[in-house]
Amino acid sequence: MTSPFYQLITFPSSDTKNGTLTMFQRGNSEGSKVPFDIKKVLVTRGMSGKDVRGGHTHHKTQQILICISGGCTVNLDNGKERAQIKLGKPTEGLLLYPYVWHTMQDFEDNTILLILADTEYDEKEYIRDYDEFMKNVTEKNLW
């Protein structure tokens, strides 16, 4: 049986008299859905529908991708299985585990993608070559 290599998370959201509030908070209770301490926050914007972002994986980093505006398709590959997830709700996040190759594409107009990660930036943490990724997956007998 294959282990899950991603998880969809629904974050708590409240309609208020002057807008909507969505909370991203550490914990596992109903109101706290981020399963790690946040060490890095990235925001990507200004992508066109033809752009492709990502094209890498991480040795240790877990991250959550959230489209806070617009939407995109996220392609996932753990070396044995593939999945394609459509993100487009600011209350929904895609939790990615280490050694999951990912690309984002098919960006809608005005997409803003928020990424929460459990590690600080370290270039050595990235695998940017697909063949090297597959070598790691095979050698470590992952998934």
Catalytic residue among 56, 58, 59, 102: 56
Cα–Cα distance, 4 to 81 (Å, whole number): 10
Cα–Cα distance, 3 to 47 (Å, whole number): 32
First to last CA, the chain: 9
CA neighbours within 13 Å on the CB side: how many for 69? 9
> What is the sign, positive or negative, of the torsion defined by CA atoms of 69, 122, 50, 101?
negative
In one-letter notation, the amino acid at residue 112 is I
Q: Is 56 a catalytic residue?
A: yes
Active site residues: 56
